[in-house]
Amino acid sequence: MSASLGTGVFVLSLTSIPICYLFNSFLSNNRDSYRVIGLYWVGSFLMQTIVYILGNAVGKFGTQIGFFFISHLLYIFVSVWACFRIFSQPSARDIQSTDVLSTVRRNLRHRPLDLVFVICLLLAFMFCVFRGLIALDCSWKLCHEYTQKYEPYLKDPSAYPKVQMLVSMLYSGPYYIIALYGLLVPGCEWMPDLSLVHSGALAQVQFSYIGASLHTRTPFSYRVPVSSQLVFMLVNILYTLVPQALCYRCCTQPEFFLRPTAEKKDE
């Protein structure tokens, strides 16, 4: 692993992710905190492992693959197993049926916060696809100018940033479309759990990417220019906060995503 990205992942593991775990543990009661932290961990750990393995395989360090690299494949199986294991645990939400009925009857015009999230998800989807196109060496002039001015780290030969953007496009892109559906159609009970997995994954990759892009051990030609650091930080932090805020909304106010008890009994 390159020194800059390795340092970013290490610092993240020591600070950012544990803080996010503690933050999300307050989203629910004690019985449900295990699922909340577990789903957040699954997303962050699975994304980190996928980017690490693929980046090592296709980047300039691909010839240095050894036993310890192969052993990381076990982490994927462990995290996938943990994901299914945690999903099988019942959630301990105690919400009155009257609250669910009154909430699901509101359309998007009467839910201004969800309307804001719909707009943010559309913008996040476009930004996610845009950076994925840059990773695919898109010939558009806009892609070239953006890379040169704001995110030259996307051209790093280590292949970690390219793999990260491609995985994010294939992972986050479909999620944003699914999340839009969940905000428009009531009764999508999978929405809170899915938002936890995705917010954990995006927190992992974004903190690592931001740290590596600004790290002093990253070659100067691939480092974010000083004149563009403010814009770079603002865009990437906002992009990181959108899934975290949506996750908070889904976990603290899940009434819209639940189905009335009568509908469940009919099934």
Per-residue pLDDT of the chain (267 residues; tens, 9 = 90+): 444 444 444 445 544 555 555 555 554 445 556 778 878 888 887 887 788 778 777 766 555 666 666 666 676 677 677 767 776 776 655 555 555 555 655 677 888 899 999 999 999 999 999 999 999 988 889 999 999 999 999 988 878 888 889 988 988 999 999 999 999 988 888 899 899 999 989 998 898 899 889 888 888 889 999 999 999 999 999 999 999 999 999 988 888 887 765 555 445
Q: Which two tokens stand for residue 54?
A: 């693929």
pTM (two decimals): 0.79
d(CA 217, CA 201): 25
Residue 97 lies in a domain: no
d(CA 139, CA 99): 51
Instruction: Evaluate whether 236 touches 209 at the Cβ level (below 8 Å).
Output: yes
- Chain segment 152-176, per-residue pLDDT in tens: 999 888 788 888 899 889 889 999 9
Domain of 212, in residue numbers: 3-91+106-260
Cα separations in angstroms, 95 against 100, 103, 109, 206, 259? 7, 12, 24, 34, 11
Instruction: Evaluate whether 129 touches 169 at the Cβ level (below 8 Å).
Output: yes
HSE-CB at 56 with a 13 A cutoff on CA atoms is 18
Instruction: Evaluate whether 206 touches 9 at the Cβ level (below 8 Å).
Output: no
Report how many helices (DSSP H) and strands (DSSP E) the chain contains, helices first: 11, 0
Residue 266 lies in a domain: no
Cβ contacts of residue 93 below 8 Å, gap of 6+?
Answer: 28, 32, 254, 258
Instruction: Evaluate whether 41 touches 196 at the Cβ level (below 8 Å).
Output: no
Q: How many Cβ atoms from other residues are within 10 Å of residue 82's Cβ? A: 16
Helices (H), 136-260: 141-149, 160-184, 191-214, 229-252
HSE-CB at 185 with a 13 A cutoff on CA atoms is 10
Length of the chain: 267
- Chain segment 90-128, per-residue pLDDT in tens: 665 555 555 555 565 567 788 889 999 999 999 999 999
**What three-state secondary structure class fits 59?**
coil
Cβ contacts of residue 246 below 8 Å, gap of 6+?
Answer: 117, 120, 121, 179, 195, 199
d(CA 266, CA 152): 56
Instruction: Evaluate whether 206 touches 161 at the Cβ level (below 8 Å).
Output: no
Domain count, the chain: 1
Residue 135 lies in a domain: yes
